[in-house]
Chains A and B, each alone.
Chain A
């Protein structure tokens, strides 16, 4: 497929391929985080089974921000750390978490699911947040935990948050609205002077996409993977 005439969307099959490529790259480079896992959708009896029938899941990610410095510290570690140092610093990150707990700062966690939308033909980020005792966090409390740059992102039209049913789990989750995704994904790849082949686009699609939507949660992707 000619990327110049590509509309920025993925088929269900492409999504699955892209999702596996993303999960693999993530696992090999982003050691500060657990790996994404591919979960099958609970089977809808009789409904047209699109090939995807599954989604990526990354759960129990701590999003608490005790203070700004620590946050920046953590991000820079993920950003610049080489694989080995990343590994050793990874322990520091965990140590921080222990420290936080002893400071009586309540920890908040987030679950992220990447689900394919057959309407918008793009990946959609669903999330929910909760305290360590499992109590769900309402949106205004989640927003307090998000890094300062998130509010800037959220004020833009294409990343607003709505509460909707998780398409597979049929429970209330939050999602970043996908109606602009195809458009900015297309721009993202068109601006690439190399004019890559569609197979390459597919390989990098979810990574590029997540490097944008992940910012809302301060989840920065190591530069190493994206290169």
Chain B
């Protein structure tokens, strides 16, 4: 249970500036420094932020929202995911701007404080439950007190309380192929432990975010700032873990999610974390000339080991889940069981370089 603990304790150091249009005092207030939980949501920080700036705000009604370099931050995306997505080269502290006026209602869903965030979270949980169990009755029928306790555990980052309440939802986790692999390797007999009798499922709720970059770059800090949500696509997709002889890896999952990026991969020697994936993958697209093979191999000499040219017109530069860049040969079941957010979605950020 190490990994979930790290995920829950993960935090982003924020340096929050008040937008200049709302500064009515001289000197302007200094920025607020706040540690924001990765699994949390930005509006939940309001009670911490407001005292810093309340004395300088113009009169009016407060509606809190944030931007990063002018890009309004979608509050319903967990803070850690926003950071992974918008800061490929991690910026610490992360400089974001807070606004208390002028809510951009055409871009962002209105947020009426904690309650809006809670319902957004519950809706997301419901969707994940539907993917995993085929219905969301357990979430719908949760008692009022359980629902509150679950929500408070997320708000306060209390993993123990969260596990206690969420176990009642009976959202079956997938068999951890990594664990069973280790057991076999260490010559132990696989003993049926007193695990709760849960129905095992192979459907993993994934929320995939793709940042497309058209400029070529070698280092992450050369990635141009994201100035519009148009450059980011995101979807919810269930990923079915297929039981085969070989382990279903993160690489296999990404191939399902981003098929166009994996079209002609068997033509190259994709080196990922020192593991040659060439033999591991099967190719469906054979109609590429030999010239291209040479070209692809030439371009494969990339600086970052995980940056791999996968399709001839685009390449995955970066994959980030909970702030880490996982190796693609990790069993997907381990990723799904350990790196998920409290809404039971696995949020995966991918940065793709698109050829112009």
Contact = CB atoms under 8 A, between A and B. Distances in A.
Most buried by A among B107, B140, B235: B235
Band of interface residues on B:
35 or more
Q: Give the interface SS of chain B, mostly helix, strand, loop or mixed.
A: mixed
Interface in B286-316: 314
Interface string A31-54: 000000000000011111100000
Contacts of A44: 210, 233, 235
Interface string A157-180: 100001111010011100001010
A119 interface: yes
B264 interface: no
A120 interface: yes
A195 interface: no
A76 interface: no
B136 A45 contact: no
A162 B119 contact: yes
Contacts of B346: none
B352 A45 contact: yes
Contact of A47 (B110, B131, B135, B208): B208
A46 B123 contact: no
B46 to A, nearest CB: 19
B258 A46 contact: yes
Interface in A159-205: 162-165, 167, 170-172, 177, 179, 183
A118 interface: yes
A119 B108 contact: no
A46 B109 contact: no
Nearest to B229: A170
Interface of B: 74, 76, 105-110, 119, 123, 126-127, 130-131, 134-136, 140, 205, 208, 210, 212, 229, 233, 235-238, 256-261, 314, 352, 354
13 contacts: A7-B134, A44-B235, A45-B314, A46-B210, A46-B233, A46-B314, A47-B237, A48-B258, A162-B123, A177-B123, A179-B126, A179-B136, A183-B135
Interface of A: 7, 44-49, 118-120, 136, 157, 162-165, 167, 170-172, 177, 179, 183
